[in-house]
Structures are given as C-alpha cells and as structure tokens.
Amino acid sequence: MQLHSVPTQPFNDQKPGTSGLRKKVRVFQQPHYLQNFVQSIFDTLEIPPNATLTVGGDGRYFNREAIQIIIKMAAANGFSKVMVGQHGILSTPAASHIIRKYHTFGGIILSASHNPAGPEEDFGIKYNTANGGPAPEKITEAIFARSKQIDRYSLADLPDVDLSRLGKTVLEGFEVEVMDAVADYADLMQTMFDFPAIKHWLANGHRMVFDAMHAVTGPYAQEIFVRRLGAPADSLMHCEVSETFGGGHPDPNLTYADALVNVAYGAQAPDLAAASDGDGDRNMILGQHFFVTPSDSLALIAAHAKRIPAYAQGLAGVARSMPTSGAVDRVATALGIPCYETPTGWKFFGNLMDAGKVTLCGEESFGTGSDHVREKDGLWAVLCWLNLLAATGESVESLVRSHWQQYGRNVYSRHDYEAVPTAQAQAVIAHLQAQFDRLPGQTIGRYTIATVDDFSYTDPVDGSVSRGQGLRILFRCGSRIVVRLSGTGTEGATIRVYLEAYTEDPALQQMDAQDALAELIAVAHQLTQLPTLTGRQQPTVIT
C-alpha cells in the first residue's frame, strides 16, 4: 500500500485530561488536529508485529469520519489489523471488554462521554492500553510531550471501510474487522448475572424503564433488556443512537435525565428506572419516587454482592474516588476487606484491579464498575440492581433504607458550577488555599475544622504519586467539604463542591439531602466565597 508522510506543525492544546482529549468538534476538524494527536499516540507506543487495534466510539457527530482517518493511520503505523464496532458504535465498557477478550494491543475510543454532541458541540478521543483501561498518566504525559514536537504524521492510501457491514475486509494485507460488539458484551453480562431470575421478576408484574438518552447504550439495551430478558419494548426510552444525542445532554442525573425522572416520580412509576450516558460508562438508579446516590449504589452493591453470581465467592476489596462518600468504607469494614481511596479518574482503579486488590469500585460522578472490564460500566450497574431486586423481592427504596438502618447514612450531595470562566474558578481555589494555615481549629456554626489538605495519592501497586487532586476540609464530627475543578468539560471550568455528613439518626436519615446539608452548604459558601468570586448564586446541577 502507498504510505504518505504528511508535514504538520504542533498544536499547543493537546494535553489529555482524566478522560482523554476533549474539545469542540470544530477544533478537531481543523486540518491536521486529529491526525497530530493520533500520531502522537502511535509515536509513544512500541507497536509489535501483527498488532491489532480496537477502535470505536459513542456515535456522536464526527465519529465515523474520525474512525476512517484512524484506520488509515493505524495501517501506516505498523498495525496489521483494526477491530471496529458496527457503524463505529462501541460503548466504552464494551471497548474495554473487546480489548481484553481478543487481546488487542490497545484501543482508541472516540467519545466526550456525557457532554453534548453535534457540529457545535463536543468531541473526544482517548487511548486505552492492553488491560482495557485508560492510559496511565505516564503514557498520557508522553503523548502530550510528543504532540508538542510532532512535525509529520503517516497515512495509508486506502479506501474508506463500510462500517455498516459485518465482516472482515483485507486491504493490501491490512485487515479491518467490523464486529458485532453488542453481542459480545451481552454474552459477557449473561455470564455474570442471574438472567433467569431477572426474567422471572420482569414476567411477574415488575416493571423497569431504561433511558439511553439517544446515546451508545441504545442497541445494547435492546439486546439485553428486551431480547434476552423479555422486558416489553416500551421499557426503553430514547434508544435510537443520534449523532446529536437527540439534541440533549446525555448526562444521567436528575437535571439532564428529566424525562426519566418524570417517569420515576409519576403516577405509574416503574419498580426500577435507570439511565446511562453518552458512551455507556455512567448510570443513574431510581426507584418509585426515590433517587439512589451513586455513593449509596456502590455501597449497597458491595453489601449484597454475594447475591450476584459473578461475586458469589466474595470481594477481594473495594475502591472509591476521594470525593465519593465513605458509605462503601463502612461496608468494607463489616466485610473485613480493604477499601482504597483514589483520585478522581478510572485509570487509578486499573492498577488495583490488575493486582487483584479490588473487585468493585466507583465514583460519585455516576460511575460504578468491577474487574470484569477496566472501565466503569453503566449497564452492568443496572443489571446489578435488577439482580438484587429479583433476589431480595424488595423495592429500591426499601433496600436503601434498610442499608441506612444497618450502616448509617452518609448524607451526600455534589454541587456543580459549570462553564465558569477559568480565571474565576482558579480564584476560588486560590482563596481557599490561602486560608489553609489558619483554618484548622476554627468553628463555624456547629462545625469545627479538624484538618485541611490538597489530596495526594500514592499508588500501592507501582508507588507512583499523584498530587493536587482536590481540596479537602475535614471536620471533627466526620463531615467534610471537598472542592475541585473538573477536567471533563470543554469550555471554562466546572467547579465541583462535594458535601458529606454521616448520621445514624433515623430522623435525619429520612430528610432530603439538601435540607440535611443546608448548614454545611452555607459553610462551604463562606469558606470558598464562590458566589462572590464567580457571581453564581446557584449550582448548574445538584446531585
């Protein structure tokens, strides 16, 4: 095949965040922009002979065009084969599974996760390594370093591949396999969960509703919930994959999944309502007129894990990101297993899972998963809940309230201030950091500050250290406030304020989280001066 070496110049903004490189579509559409970043990935890797690359994405705008470019660049950079999902569709957890099942060298996933899609919206790309998980920092830093020096990229002169047709295409010795990744993933789920019990539960008067938010999990939901578990077709909402996600914001939370929330809090509410996000790695769980926080969801799945066939022999350990509530810590203590606290970002769980130290892990940002793949997994979490409902005969609300009675409740909420001008967001962080030396010992209302810090993590497997992972204000009563900037947006900055208070008081356990945390919220405003420094009187999203 004919190879082309195309001259280029570096871009100065190709530093991957916690979930890869995310920019507006129009940025990626600039001449050479996508190609530069892909070549920087390939230049950083030592690609062995006969290597296979997994490629796919969440179906958003520019997905198919990007895949064709990546295929031609893979051929020019020494890969002998590319495996791609049909229509270019491949959920992030399914991509992780494909990498692991077929032992591919790694994978390129095209997604901006829960961000909006369309010509004027967001696009993203990230590299996953051979274990199926996101590239660790040492690789992403090397990719960024290369992107600042790149002067040419390689491209094979090959025709576009028909991504709609299953099968293998050989192009001058280079192979492209368009595969049914939905079936592969559904087969994996069927080995992990008690499908007969769930099918029986659904057939005996119980109802579920799943909202794919016009994103990647639509085809997976149709295969698993309708074809394999026998749920009625009207159990599914918005399962047609759209390049613009139907014009919506595919973030499964109480604000953006409002159509599902209306169903869950309506007159004919189903027993379980659930949603997943743009690339299929996040989830939201609702019962009848009842919302389950992601932190509680992780803790409850861990507490009942032995009811799920895949975990019948118990858990090696659990892990959570630092901003996630300590609810799962209490379960781990009761089970006599270790619990690890990591920075935000799923890549930090990968080492722990590869070393056999943890089985379940989760983040408060609606991500939960296990060691079956190396990504968080939205549909897996929904199946966990279906399995537990079928096994216990309880409702979602009764399961959670029973859990609180046994372990106590970590009353928890996250307040997101989205698209804040970067200078204002940094001013909030700087204002809080400037008080660190004098905060310990101060009392504000009924809260006395014990310690403050900027969270640092030492990986127990490889000894690597990650600093600057979030500002923590820890109170003597066990409550805490965490403030950090998120790296998942493409405009300005998102300030995230996490609030947590533990209680064993049954009366407080029944309260709405915002009411129970009202005084702590006021303390957070006083300490950060966020409303004054940003002009934002209310969060964009409360979860």
- Of 91, 113, 295, 321, which one is the catalytic site residue? 113
What span, in angstroms and rounded, lies between the C-alpha atoms of 55 and 82?
7
Alpha-carbon distance 154 to 131, whole Å? 26
Distance CA 387, CA 383 (A): 6
Give me the numbers of helices (H) and strands (E) for the chain, helices first please: 19, 27
Q: Which position has the token pair 């369309």? A: 118
- Cβ atoms of residues 337 and 317 within 8 Å: yes
The Cα 495–Cα 530 span in angstroms is 9
- List the beta bridge partners of residue 361: 319, 369
Total count of residues recorded for the chain: 543
Distances in Å between the alpha carbon of 143 and those of 20, 40, 126, 127, 149? 11, 5, 11, 10, 10
CA distance 111 to 115: 9
Tokens at residue 151, please? Answer: 């002067």
Q: Which residues in 498-520 are b (16+ Cβ under 10 Å) and which e?
A: bbbbbbeeeebbeeebeebbeeb
* Sequence-ordered alpha helix ranges (H) in 77-153: 92-101, 137-147
Our CA angle for 104, 105, 110, nearest 5°, is 85
Q: How far is CA 100 from CA 107, 185, 191, 295, 523, in A?
A: 10, 12, 16, 28, 46
Cβ neighbors of 486 (< 8 A, separation 6 or more) are: 416, 493, 494, 495, 496
Report the alpha-carbon distance of residue 372 to residue 303 in Å, rounded: 18
| CA 300, chain centre distance (Å) | 19
Report how far residue 223's alpha carbon sits from residue 453's, in angstroms, rounded to the nearest whole number: 47
Is residue 113 annotated as part of the catalytic site, yes or no? yes
Would you say 86 and 57 are in contact if contact means Cβ atoms under 8 Å apart?
no
Q: State the amino acid at position 248 in one-letter form.
A: G
* Edge-first strand listing for the sheet containing 367-370: 339-342, 318-321, 360-363, 367-370
Strands 272-276 and 122-128, sheet pairing: unpaired
Give the integer Cα–Cα distance in Å for 261 and 283: 13
Q: Give the residue numbers marked as catalytic.
A: 113
